[in-house]
Structure 1
Amino acid sequence: MQCDRCDSAAVEWIRYSGEHLCRGHFVEFVERRAKRELHAQVDLQGGERIAVGMSGGKDSSATASLLADFLGRRRDIELIGITIDEGIASYRPAGIQRAKALCGRLGIEHRILAYEDTAGHTMDEVVARDPEAIPCSYCGPFRRQALNRAAREVEADYVATGLNLDDTAQSILMNVARGDVEKLARLGPHESRQPGLVPRIQPLRMIPEKEVYLYALLQGIEFHDATCPYADRAQRGRFREMLNRLEEDSPGTRHAIVRGYDQMRPLLQEAYPPATLNACARCGEPTVHAVCKACELRDRIEKFAPDAPEPA
């Protein structure tokens, strides 16, 4: 099949637009949208430091590579790669290795922060102690807090994450299904700053997961291509399957969900303005409650400790 923009062979068919694109035009297609999204989300004046959350997977690796390409000529902006080590022995070490290697190739600093130093336990320990729980219910709050802490420690002005279009549309649907309108209003990217929280930006927000994957392959970006061993127990998987079916039947559904949300977002944020944050009484991290969610989960883990006393 020939590219619709030139005489070269096509490497991808964009179903939602009907276009066939060659390697060069596909790469340009991805980069143009990522750059547009970056500029729409943040106005970089110079002097900023951007922490890039890097798992070593395709999305975060593509994000780091794109930002290095977009901002590499600007000596007044610094990128720092941050990897959160959840402590999943069969999964995380390979990702750390990929993230470290990519940072070396891009010429940016790389730091690692482990759950053992923030949550006090590895995820393998958490699952062993509380096998009936959904692992993501622990991992999500722990990771968000760890990434924010790491970004704050390096004095980052922003945290860039690799959330793609599929991730974003899934998050919107999940919060709608739960009736969690307040959380829906607070989805990233973040436009305001709150004490103790580093705003997040998402350059891949409008790029489908499959296109991110192909972009990484075509650009020679080495990444850890594996799935977390605990992911099959996550609720997100059901929404992923549902969204994939909708997209298959009606190409463009993911874009429509996110664009529709973006139109509603100002109204949601008006109804749910940024909450007043407190310092957690246990760890000092920002929270809307007296004790943050991560500390509540740490307390729950301790109840399952091998040497914990039997309940009265």
Structure 2
Amino acid sequence: MQCSKCGNSQVIIKKHQSGQYLCKDCFIESIEKKVIKTVKKEKLLDKGDKVLVALSGGKDSVTTLEILNSFRKRNIIDICAVTVDEGIDNYRQEGVDIATRHAKRLGIEHKVVSLKKEYGITLDEIMQKENHIGSCSYCGVFRRTIINKAAREMGATKIATGHNLDD
């Protein structure tokens, strides 16, 4: 199997909507082009915006940061980032480290906010209590509140979150 765009034999993905097979470089380029086209078409960014990126350290949010950084390089927007540490043992620290490393590499203002520091409890501690309604319900509300608060504190005019290809 070869890349539908460049002929490279190192195909990493088949795009189901188009049927294309893409190598790593062509896949990255296709995602960047799609995001930039959508941002322009939907007028999602205005010159002078400061965009807070909700940066988990996962591939979706890191990709969002990288793509928005192309707008920052052209002096269209400024970027800052926040990472929420939910307090999940043996899981969260790696993402926090990745997020911190990427923000530092790009020279982007970044803060890490923990549920423990902000609310006095971790997600793990919440889940140990009886009668909980599921981790996603708590995490989603806490995370969104922290992101909104960080946006206000950092002077952001817009918030960007990473999504996967199915979103």
1:55 deviation in Å?
0.8
Taking the aligned partners of 1:16 and 1:45, their CA distance within structure 2 comes to: 30
1:146 deviation in Å?
0.9
Detail structure 1 runs of 4+ shifted over 4 Å in the superposition.
Answer: none
- TM-score normalised by structure 1 residue count: 0.49
Q: Give the partner amino acid of 1:120.
A: G
Q: How does 1:1-312 map to 2 (within 5 A)?
A: 1-11=1-11, 12-74=13-75, 77-130=77-130, 132-166=132-166, 168=167
Q: Give the partner amino acid of 2:5.
A: R
1:71 deviation in Å?
2.8
1:138/1:22 CA distance change after superposition, 3 Å: closer
1:85 deviation in Å?
1.3
1:132-156 CA distances to partner (integer Å, 9 max, x unpaired)? 5311111111111111111111110
1:3/1:130 CA distance change after superposition, 3 Å: same
Matched position secondary structure for 2:51: strand
Q: Unpaired runs of 5+ in structure 2?
A: none
Taking the aligned partners of 2:57 and 2:140, their CA distance within structure 1 comes to: 17
Deviates more, 1:152-161 or 1:118-127: 118-127
Assess if the C-alpha contact under 8 Å between 1:10 and 1:20 holds in 2: no
Taking the aligned partners of 1:115 and 1:3, their CA distance within structure 2 comes to: 44
Calculate the aligned-residue CA RMSD, in Å. 1.9
Taking the aligned partners of 2:19 and 2:105, their CA distance within structure 1 comes to: 36
- TM-score normalised by structure 2 residue count: 0.88
Q: Unpaired runs of 5+ in structure 1?
A: 169-312
Q: Give the partner amino acid of 1:163.
A: H
| Structure (1 or 2) with the larger CA radius of gyration | 1
1:41/1:147 CA distance change after superposition, 3 Å: farther
Number of corresponding residues: 166
